[in-house]
Chain A
Amino acid sequence: MRLYAALVYLFLYIPIGVIALFSFTAGRHASQLQGLSVQWYGKALHNPFVMDALQTSLMVALISATLASTFGAMAAVALQGLRGPVRVAFDGLIYIAVMIPGIVIGIATLIALVTLFAGLNPIIAAVWPAGSAPPQLGLGIGSLVAAHTMFLMALCIIIVRARLSGMDRSLTEASSDLYATPMGTFRQVTLPLIFPAILAGFLLSFTFSFDDFIIAFFVAGSETTLPIYVFSSIRRGVTPEINAIGTMVLAVSLTVLMVAQFLLRRGANKGGGA
């Protein structure tokens, strides 16, 4: 039994380890380990395409995660204790957002936005004051952020809601018994208790957006995110540079995840018992 578990852990971590190990090769081929060096990290970090893609990915992830965790937390607080058709509608939307495959979200967003922009651009051009060129709406960072935020908002609502429903009711009741205003109760009792969940939602959203390939593939337009760059490089052949980029990408996600895990657990300990 122990041996079996050890084998499964090896299965899970050997591929990651191999990528990391071969990224330190001093040779020129991805599949040979000739001495150790960090030259491929230097190459990757000096490659303007990589840096551009990295910048785009970080920006999209940061904006999407901020919007998703803010709006998601707001919605989760409102949905708590809400009954009736609004609640049913939101439950349905969250369920659909999580259930529908990412690839379908990608293509649906692509054709909807392209069609919408094709209709809006002539209107904008018509009402735009003469003398300056009217802006052209198109796919890019904006559409990517919008698509990521939609999906991640559903994720954040689920995470914050789980925290809210695990929260000890008597705390908010005690607060209002002691004549705190609803806003005061929210600021001094509810918010501190759900804050770890909001932050964990933000961090999970960040890693998800940063790692997402399939939605970005459809809605990023001419923009290149890091996963899109890596995907097209893999198509051209395996190089130590991809190993170096891959190792850095994994390192970023792992760090963010460790923080999220820590926050979720600390949050659970703080508000768990009565």
Chain B
Amino acid sequence: MSRRIRNFLLLAPAGAWFLVMLVLPLAVVIIFSFGERGPAGGYVPAFTLAQYANLPARWAAFRNTMMLAPTGTVAALVIAYPLAYFLAVRVSARWKMTLLVLVIVPFWTSILIRSYAWIFLLGGRGIPALLDLIGISDLRLINTPFAVLVGIVYGYLPLMVFPIYVSLDRLDKRLLEAAADLGARPWAAFVQITLPMSIPGIATGCMLVFILLMGEYLIPALLGGGKVFFVGNALVDLFLQSRNWAFGSAVAATLVIVMLVTVSIYMRLMARLGNGRDDVSLM
């Protein structure tokens, strides 16, 4: 069997699958976004930009997403960085792997159940009831932007810790010793050596978390109680409730475009800051 035929046979199932289940559906979204809504929902063929012109109707969802996704990313970074530093620099080799796995494992378990846990904790009989005991009463936590932010940090922290850990772990510790020998204070060594060296990891972590947050639905749906909604919540509403496929497709296409533009600007900025990109796997 020639190499060419062998490769063709090996690639055919995956290629066909991508074609039917990825390329075709995405093409349908783009085509439908230029169409019109049918009288009973669904889609009627047309070529109009009316759906895109109507986008401001969902402005609140885009605004919430574009505010809470970066805020959540930064919050996750602030909490993740010291932990990643601790794991990479301070922990002995014996415990490193175990502690790292303990951080990553939650990410691969059900985000639904993990967000549900916070409904439980932030709800009236959870943390607010405990705070009531020490005199802080009538504090509402669930169904607020704060609850959504807690859910985001909780859900995506592992994804932020891992790439930062990888970049810090690669750092040559002799650089820090040399800095100390030359009289640099620990803080100065951190700002001038450790932090710049970990920028690729920070960039990767922020990008991974940000991409996933842009399409988030579950966390705002469960912890935001309908008051804090993302583009994802608008999409569920448009496709499963009002069945407005044409407008929904325009919203989905816009979401992907906004995401791609943000990410490519971000990557260009980071490429200028750091030196080259980092290959990081999630497991």
Binding site for B on A (CB under 8 A): 1-2, 4-5, 8-9, 11-16, 18-19, 22, 30-32, 71-72, 74-75, 77-79, 82, 86, 90, 93, 96-97, 99-105, 107-113, 115, 146-147, 149-150, 153, 157-159, 162, 200, 204, 207-208, 211, 213-214, 217-218, 227, 230-231, 234, 238, 242-243, 246, 249-250, 253-254, 257, 260-261, 264
A75 and B110 within 8 A (CB):
no
Question: Using Cβ atoms and an 8 Å threshold, which residues of chain A touch B23?
Answer: 93
Residue of B nearest to A94 (CB): B18
Whole-angstrom CA separation of A32 from B197 in the bound complex: 49
Interface string of B11-47 (1 = CB under 8 A from A): 1011101101111111011001000000000010000
Pick from A93, A112, A249: contact of B25, CB under 8 Å = A112
B10 and A213 within 8 A (CB):
no
B25 and A109 within 8 A (CB):
yes
Binding site for A on B (CB under 8 A): 6-7, 10-11, 13-15, 17-18, 20-26, 28-29, 32, 43, 79, 82-83, 86-87, 90, 99, 101-103, 105-106, 108-114, 116-121, 123, 125-126, 154, 157-158, 211-212, 214-215, 217-218, 222, 232, 235-236, 239-240, 245, 248-249, 252, 255-256, 259-260, 281, 283
Whole-angstrom CA separation of A127 from B218 in the bound complex: 43
In the A-B complex, the 3 residue pairs with the closest CB atoms: A101-B215, A108-B25, A15-B117
Give the one of B22, B125, B249 with max A CB within 10 A: B22
Question: Using Cβ atoms and an 8 Å threshold, which residues of chain A touch B283?
Answer: 159, 200, 204, 260-261, 264
Whole-angstrom CA separation of A227 from B245 in the bound complex: 25
A99-B211, A103-B232 as given contacts; A78 in contact with B112, CB under 8 Å = no
Residue of B nearest to A210 (CB): B110
Question: Using Cβ atoms and an 8 Å threshold, which residues of chain A touch B6?
Answer: 78
A250 and B22 within 8 A (CB):
no
B256 and A149 within 8 A (CB):
no
What's the dominant secondary structure at chain A's contact region? helix
Question: Using Cβ atoms and an 8 Å threshold, which residues of chain A touch B113?
Answer: 19, 230, 246, 249-250
B110 and A249 within 8 A (CB):
yes
Residue of A nearest to B18 (CB): A93
Whole-angstrom CA separation of A153 from B15 in the bound complex: 10
A15 and B22 within 8 A (CB):
no
Question: Using Cβ atoms and an 8 Å threshold, which residues of chain A touch B117?
Answer: 15-16, 18-19, 246
17 residue pairs A–B, Cβ–Cβ below 8 Å = A4-B83, A9-B102, A12-B154, A75-B11, A78-B7, A86-B7, A93-B23, A101-B255, A104-B252, A111-B25, A111-B239, A111-B245, A211-B109, A211-B112, A246-B116, A249-B109, A250-B113
CB distance from B89 to the nearest CB of A (A): 9
Whole-angstrom CA separation of A162 from B29 in the bound complex: 32
Residue of B nearest to A149 (CB): B17
A75 and B43 within 8 A (CB):
no
Question: Using Cβ atoms and an 8 Å threshold, which residues of chain B touch A77?
Answer: 10
A31 and B126 within 8 A (CB):
yes
Whole-angstrom CA separation of A102 from B214 in the bound complex: 10
Whole-angstrom CA separation of A181 from B214 in the bound complex: 49
What's the dominant secondary structure at chain B's contact region? helix
Question: Using Cβ atoms and an 8 Å threshold, which residues of chain B touch A147?
Answer: 21
CB distance from B56 to the nearest CB of A (A): 21
Pick from A32, A82, A162, A238: contact of B119, CB under 8 Å = A238
B14 and A227 within 8 A (CB):
no
Residue of A nearest to B213 (CB): A101
Residue of B nearest to A157 (CB): B14
Pick from B17, B119, B212: contact of A153, CB under 8 Å = B17
Whole-angstrom CA separation of A18 from B158 in the bound complex: 20
A19-B116, A30-B120 as given contacts; A108 in contact with B217, CB under 8 Å = no
B256 and A8 within 8 A (CB):
no
16 more contacts with CB within 8 A, not counting A19-B116, A82-B7, A208-B108, are A2-B86, A12-B103, A12-B158, A16-B106, A90-B18, A97-B22, A103-B235, A104-B215, A150-B21, A200-B283, A207-B108, A217-B240, A238-B119, A238-B120, A249-B113, A253-B109
Pick from A12, A104, A200: contact of B29, CB under 8 Å = A104
Residue of B nearest to A98 (CB): B211
B240 and A218 within 8 A (CB):
yes
Pick from B14, B15, B154: contact of A11, CB under 8 Å = B154
A74 and B10 within 8 A (CB):
yes
A253 and B108 within 8 A (CB):
yes
Question: Using Cβ atoms and an 8 Å threshold, which residues of chain B touch A217?
Answer: 236, 240
B14 and A72 within 8 A (CB):
yes
B17 and A150 within 8 A (CB):
yes
Pick from B7, B106, B217: contact of A214, CB under 8 Å = B217
A218 and B120 within 8 A (CB):
no
B110 and A107 within 8 A (CB):
no
